[in-house]
Structure 1
Amino acid sequence: MLYKRNEYFRYTFGEPCDATFRLIKNATATSEMEMSKKGNCKIIDISPNGLRIYTQFQISIDQLKQVEIQFVLDESPIQIIGEFVWTKRKNDAFEYGIRLMGDHESEKLITEELKARRHKEVEKKK
């Protein structure tokens, strides 16, 4: 198994997190970036650098490589662009691995939101 030294952690949700996505059609020098309508998905797991989603939509990741994901982990809405890495068919839906193309600030926000969410989950169990 390949060890990703720069990967901080991967948080797997007990109950997948609701999210929306919009596919991004690559822009050229003469055209603007085009985005699809919003689609619903569930986030299965997440790290500051990537996530795995589950959706009913079949996406041709060879043609549409980038995606904008919007979600809330605890309180702050997060909107970030990612790049499809892999796809896998699961029963009647599809799973996609996405590498997030954020900066240090977005990684920090994801980490802080996950910490706050986990803290609340632990408090509810007490």
Structure 2
Amino acid sequence: MKPFKRGESFRYTFKNPLPGRFKLHMDQGRERASTKEGALLIKDISPKGMRFKTEYTLPVERIDFELEIHFELMDQPITMAGRPIWRKGAGKEILYGFTSVEDAETEKLIIETLKSYSKEDKKKQ
């Protein structure tokens, strides 16, 4: 696996990981198969990706699938599609790096929602 360095200037790290859920979608010939939902905890996020942990082992070496992640931030449901690009750890503490497919609308939504979340979080301190 190639080393990966994220070249983004905007990344928000949560004090307490944000809960979310995911599904794997795999192309199988002409059909698309999906897994049941799994739980994850988002440690940090940017408009183009995130770091999350889960107890599930995801196939980072394969490229024939898509990961769909759902979570809520400031009562705003957000869905990101993409794939994990690296994995560290084992057991209940598997950490993943995730990169999303280009989606300007979702990226804008994440930026706006994170700005509001950050302002609210600062008010609480």
TM-score (norm 1): 0.86
Structure 2 portions without partners, runs of 5+: none
Give the Å deviation of 1:62: 2.2
CA-atom RMSD in angstroms? 2.0
Determine whether 1:35 maps to 2:34: yes
Give the Å deviation of 1:60: 2.3
Q: Distance in 1 between matches of 2:92 and 2:104?
A: 36
Give the Å deviation of 1:3: 7.0
Q: Deviations over 1:62-120 (max 9, x none)?
A: 23642000001212101121111111115642011110114111100000110111111
Partner in structure 2 of residue 72 of structure 1: 72
Amino acid at match of 2:71: F
Give the secondary-structure state (helix, strand or coil) at the position aligned to 1:26: strand
Identity %: 34
TM-score (norm 2): 0.86
The aligned runs of 1:1-126 (5 Å cut-off) are 4=7, 7-28=8-29, 31-63=30-62, 65-89=65-89, 92-125=92-125
Amino acid at match of 1:50: G
Structure 1 portions without partners, runs of 5+: none
